[in-house]
Structure 1
Amino acid sequence: MGKLESYRDLEVWKVSMPLAQGVYQATEVMPKHEIYGLTSQIHRASVSVRANIAEGYGRNHRKEYLHFLGIADGSLKESEILLLLANNLNYINDIAELMSMCESAGRLLNRLRQSLKGGG
């Protein structure tokens, strides 16, 4: 792999876009009374994954970058639990593909974090 020109070259950033888009599409069927509750929270968490990857990349120090990648990982876990809750409440019927995307993004995020820590 060549030198990264931007956070947009990171594989984890690339795979997190379809996740956020999928979350937005899946939540279109959620009850209107959840628009400012669960729906909004799922949206924010899924977008936060990508945003924190980008923000961390723009930081001057590796420690700061790792901090933001940790936040991205937390947002990813938050997205998973909120998707599970929405599914358990029968607000979203099929979350298998979204959960698979979360798992893929999580693996890539973990690899990136390990490589920055010097372990990969």
Structure 2
Amino acid sequence: MKTHKDLDVWNEGIELVARVYEIVQKFPKEEKYGLVEQIKRSAVSIPSNIAEGAARNSKKEFLQFLSISLGSISELETQLIIADKLGFLKNKEIFSLIEKERYKLLGLIRYLRSDKNVQK
């Protein structure tokens, strides 16, 4: 039986978290308990909700958790845009990783929402 660890979207979410943690280490120390913690929480929420949803008993519940992950992606992107505007972000390649994760997540959501796949 497959688990969340078999999902590309979950694995790429883990990679995104690792990259985010590398990036925020270079932020100013005074942001440690502000923007840095918010960014880390948003990033960790993405694969965490994918995993929790995959462990649920129905595709409907899985979709709810994927929707939360999608919200976390937007939250993370917004926080990183703020960090960039404040001059904290040196390398902007993180935005392409976010887009890749969003694209994969939306694809999975579309697949699960198709009428033949959703269990009530």
TM-score by length of 2: 0.92
Q: Structure 2: 5+ residue runs without aligned partners?
A: none
Give CA deviations for 1:57-100 in whole Å, capped at 9, x if unaligned.
011121111000000000011111111110110112112x2110
Give the distance between the partners of 1:117 and 1:9, measured in 2 at CA.
Answer: 20
User: How far apart, CA to CA, are the structure 2 residues paired with 1:18 and 1:86?
Assistant: 20
Residue number in structure 2 paired with 1:112: 108
Q: Which amino acid aligns with 2:23?
A: A
Taking the TM superposition and a 5 Å limit, the aligned residue runs for 1:67-86 are 67-86=64-83
- Specify the code of the residue in structure 2 equivalent to 1:51: S
Percent of pairs with identical residues: 38
1:7 corresponds to which of 4, 20, 23: 4
Aligned counterpart, 2:27: 30
State the partner residue of 1:59: 56
Name the SS for the 1:8 alignment partner: helix
User: For residue 88 of structure 1, what is the amino acid of its counterpart?
Assistant: K
Aligned residues, how many?
A: 116
Partner of 1:89: 86
1:18 positional shift: 1.5
Unaligned runs of 5+ in 1: none
1:30-53 Cα deviation digits (max 9, x unpaired):
111111110000000001000000
Which residue number in structure 1 is paired with residue 97 of structure 2?
101
Query: RMSD value over aligned CA atoms?
Result: 1.4
SS at match of 2:88: coil
